[in-house]
Chains A and B, each alone.
Chain A
């Protein structure tokens, strides 16, 4: 996807993290920074940033004793470097020792996911899933608000044994420190490209498994979605790059936005869903009326835009810059020519 999804880090997200962070350390004695970051799904840098804010919070008295205690000296050395095996200690925050209740959305998403697991599980796993469902449902219903389960679904994609095999293969390559060759599908170009990469880590983001690696073709770190890898070949060649710091959830995934072009599309009513699906800069009614809209969005790869316009055809066209529609026009004409030889 070449359009850039929205979602800058916000204060409320930081508050949500802090509300998990304090009870996390309360429930465990002497946890090291790196381990805590991994458990909480954030970078050690972010944990320290969050703790520095926490350090300024506390009871409304305004006295130093009212503030939450955080031992920052154990986590940041005198020259400003992170101490990854530093032990995190938080004190004077007894009122925040429990995490927040699950929101209805969280409880609902979790319960439906568990039911989906149950549908495809064997007897032993079914019994474990039932125990978890029981505990979650009673925890969610324990408060004043009842939790509506808003979603009912059975899984539409069966477990993918191919992806499991890949995980194992990649995990081995990572632990042996050897390069792998990937055949990787790039939707923007509808092509499979072969590249040699240094595999560094497997990670989970928004429901997909990614391989974080250094790509020798791009000469840069890249993330690869496992479901888009067609083939893996493990090579005996040792990797030649270091892992370049953990990448945060939001960054990294969508690179190349610096040289993106601002494109204006005119969308007829049936194509309006684009606005809700991709992050767009501006939306306004089209001069022709009739429910049509003009949308500005950033496009990093013209081939991605061409594929989108083909998918929406004939309900979308490029208003500006006009040169950006040429590839689409040519593709539509070429497609038509297969069915009506001579017409193009």
Chain B
């Protein structure tokens, strides 16, 4: 972080905020980038504008004066820039503090922290440790969550490879995303499928590889009456729950134990010793095989047979792959 750069960004922001009219690009250069060459100025100025916009500063582009050649000018309208007056009662501020702890997802947790900072700056006294009441948690572990979330906010088309059950290979999809929604413990993106010309939902955990955003932001409108949660309920398959019976070595697999419906101790395990516990786990499908694999030989699957086979196949493929 360079103090000089922060200073330049701040001065650019202040300059555009206090002028009533558009400020000519040449004047901005003269005052803030006086030492830069033509190329360097263009590069720095473009990047500076982008950085300010990325934190939410609304920089407008307009033309300065009809009489001159169309030299571009810039401004920030105070009404667009500033948070409107908002006063929170003490109980309301406490609720805001609680809300800032709901997200378990790094990016959205940061967004709520930033929102609390702005509300604090606006005069509210928010004590984030005030109310000692139990609170809910929201998480999003799917790696593509962020990019779909951004695309919805930007209203930008996305393309991605999607793996449907029963297909041999993923297929390429083009979607105008309307919203992301959580249903039965899974995240989905809801939107307009450009190839099927209809509304569709996609489960984030089935998206393969990277998601690319294409085209311009603001490319389409989200239906005003959209209820993404209702669309998900209508279009999503009813999730099947998996009941698994596993043996775990004493002291291992704490996360599985936490979710266990029952735990039976002193069970004889595959090594013939009684240093194992039998756990019955009740989970919404997907991901349980990955989690069980991650514990290696400390967890042994008894049932169901599909889960057992899946672990055996995966371990065998690894061992054979390594022998190759």
> Residues of A with Cβ closer than 8 Å to B?
5, 8-24, 27-28, 39-41, 52-54, 56-60, 62, 95-96, 98-110, 112-114, 116-117, 119-120, 125, 128-129, 131-132, 135-136, 138-139, 142-145, 148-161, 164, 167-168, 185, 187, 190-192, 202, 204, 206-209, 230, 269-270, 272-273, 276-277, 291, 306-314, 317, 325, 328-329, 331-341
**Cα–Cα distance between A10 and B54 once the two chains are bound (Å):** 13
B52:A101 contact, CB within 8 angstroms: no
Partner of B95, one of A95, A101, A117, A190: A117
A15:B138 contact, CB within 8 angstroms: no
Closest chain-A Cβ to B256's Cβ sits at a distance in Å of 10
List A contacts of B1 (CB < 8 A): 8-11, 13-14
A100:B86 contact, CB within 8 angstroms: no
CB-CB contacts below 8 Å: B1-34 with A: 1-3, 5-7, 9-11, 13-15, 17-18, 31-32
Closest chain-B Cβ to A23's Cβ sits at a distance in Å of 4
List B contacts of A311 (CB < 8 A): 290-291, 293-294
A332:B318 contact, CB within 8 angstroms: yes
A98:B83 contact, CB within 8 angstroms: yes
The 10 closest A-B pairs by CB, nearest first: A159-B134, A155-B136, A314-B317, A98-B82, A207-B109, A150-B152, A157-B137, A113-B102, A331-B296, A338-B270
B143:A139 contact, CB within 8 angstroms: no
A16:B228 contact, CB within 8 angstroms: no
List A contacts of B115 (CB < 8 A): 102, 106-107, 109-110
Partner of B99, one of A18, A57, A117, A187: A117
**Cα–Cα distance between A311 and B132 once the two chains are bound (Å):** 37
Closest chain-A Cβ to B29's Cβ sits at a distance in Å of 12
Q: Contacting chain A: which of B37-45, B66-74, B120-128?
A: B120-128
Q: Binary interface profile of B, 97-118, with partner A (CB < 8 Å = 1, else 0)?
A: 0111111111111111111111
Answer whether A20 and B121 are a contact pair too, CB < 8 Å, given A57-B11, A117-B99. yes
B322 at the interface (CB under 8 A from A): yes
B2:A105 contact, CB within 8 angstroms: no
**Cα–Cα distance between A163 and B220 once the two chains are bound (Å):** 44
B215 at the interface (CB under 8 A from A): no
Q: Binary interface profile of B, 193-213, with partner A (CB < 8 Å = 1, else 0)?
A: 000000000000000111000
Closest chain-A Cβ to B302's Cβ sits at a distance in Å of 11
B130 at the interface (CB under 8 A from A): no
Answer whether A105 and B153 are a contact pair too, CB < 8 Å, given A28-B123, A99-B122, A117-B136. yes
B82:A101 contact, CB within 8 angstroms: yes
Answer whether A153 and B83 are a contact pair too, CB < 8 Å, given A117-B99, A206-B109, A334-B297. no
**Cα–Cα distance between A167 and B115 once the two chains are bound (Å):** 25
List A contacts of B15 (CB < 8 A): 59-60
Q: Contacting chain A: which of B174-182, B235-243, B260-268?
A: B174-182
**Cα–Cα distance between A329 and B297 once the two chains are bound (Å):** 11
**Cα–Cα distance between A291 and B163 once the two chains are bound (Å):** 15
B14:A192 contact, CB within 8 angstroms: no
Answer whether A53 and B7 are a contact pair too, CB < 8 Å, given A191-B251, A313-B315. yes
A114:B95 contact, CB within 8 angstroms: yes
Closest chain-A Cβ to B158's Cβ sits at a distance in Å of 13
List A contacts of B101 (CB < 8 A): 204, 207, 209
List A contacts of B129 (CB < 8 A): 202, 204
Closest chain-A Cβ to B211's Cβ sits at a distance in Å of 9
B209:A339 contact, CB within 8 angstroms: no
**Cα–Cα distance between A317 and B318 once the two chains are bound (Å):** 8
Interface centre among A108, A168, A340 (most CB of B within 10 A): A108
**Chain A residue, CB-CB nearest to B309:** A339
List B contacts of A145 (CB < 8 A): 58, 80
B316 at the interface (CB under 8 A from A): yes
**Chain A residue, CB-CB nearest to B293:** A310
B136:A158 contact, CB within 8 angstroms: yes
Closest chain-B Cβ to A90's Cβ sits at a distance in Å of 12
Interchain residue pairs with CB less than 8 A apart (30)? A8-B1, A11-B5, A20-B117, A22-B121, A39-B126, A41-B113, A98-B83, A99-B121, A101-B82, A105-B111, A106-B112, A109-B103, A116-B138, A117-B102, A148-B152, A148-B179, A150-B152, A152-B227, A156-B139, A190-B254, A190-B298, A192-B254, A204-B101, A207-B137, A272-B209, A332-B318, A332-B319, A336-B312, A338-B300, A339-B315
